[in-house]
Chain A
Amino acid sequence: MNDSKKHTVKEVRLMKGNEAIAHAAVRCGCDGYFGYPITPQSEIMETLMELEPWNTTGMVVLQAESETASINMVYGAAGCGKKSMTSSSSPGISLMQEGISYIACAELPCVIVNVMRGGPGLGTIQPSQADYYQSVKGGGHGDYKLITLAPASVQEMADYTVLAFELAFKYSTPSLILADGVIGQMMEKVILPPFQPRMTEAEIREKCPWATLGKTADRKPNIITSLCLQAEQMEAINLRLQKKYRDIEDNEVLFEEFSCEDAEYIIIAFGTTARVCQKAVEMARVEGIKAGLLRPITLFPFPTTAISNYADRIKAMLTVEMSAGQMVDDVRLAVNGRIPVEFYGRLGGIVPSPDEVLKALKDKIVIK
């Protein structure tokens, strides 16, 4: 993703991750943003308001009365085949869970952005990754999954906004961008994606035949609902959803490796923590420790096979998260007891430092 050197200085911008999401949304032809402010992601709506896309692309930007209203506005817009999105931070995302479950069941495409902060409860406004379980294990009720993308740079905030919409429409399912306060707030270089026009009504009718844009004489009414009182029918819906999730697992796994070729120890981390761990790996290499980093980019689908393959080649793994240890469960399932998988984490809004990670790597796995 980091190919900024190929471009001229003019095309390269310096902005916050939150701002990059807003720019990318307008540029990829988003039809509507509905949200409610909360730190550390308020710049998303703020930037959209500054960009005034309703004057250029015609995109709607609306501050709803609550997060619950936002997600249900997204549900309504998505039902019309519109590219719609919302964003919030941890407590706000919790409020949205009912709506997210409805949208997943109704099989509608949309993008949800969670710029995580320290919890539980209202918690802090500092960075955290403690919403991993909520994001990939359900969050709301019922058997559903969200395609979950974990950006680790401002460039990826822009790129994955575009990708999240593509995947949402490809599978007719909600996509989640799971970022944290660091990536939302920090400024880095970014090359924004090219402008794509918003879909016309004719294009929506063609690409989303289920959309409720008004019935034409040649078809039955489109009904969008997540209510189905016949258990047999509801099971059929569930089986269809599960098949879709297996397709996503087969086709959409993304991850990045750093110094893994000859590694004896591999750190698994995502988002900001992966950046910190990359530095720890650089420091470990200077000390002669053969360390590597595997960064899951999609958290669902999880890079289970890639991690499993390393378990036959290396001595041990360390999972590092800004949580009490959530993704480590999925790493352990992938490794299935073949090698030790240790955990190091900081909680409540503290970002681990590269030195701490290096120390944890040595204390927990190298010395053992």
Chain B
Amino acid sequence: MIVNQFLVLGALLFSIGVYGVLVRRNAVLVLLSIELMLAAVNINLVAFGAFVDDAAAAGQVFALFVITVAAAEVGIGLAIVVLIFRNRSSANVDELDLMKW
């Protein structure tokens, strides 16, 4: 069994996610790109879980944990985005310079 295909795909998806985080200026799109990066990591976890001798099912259990953390992160992140939009009428990350000195 070969895992290289999944690793290459995961690397490509992660790179697209990084590109989205760096390029998009809408805060919701930045969060979407972060979701893509987390999912790309999950491919690696599950593929290696099937590749190596994984008696404790560590790959799949860790993929579950990553999904859980992603869900929690999305809840908090989107609440923050909605709150910022309510206060400043904009979700553009370039205009959020409140903490810039």
A and B part of one assembly = no
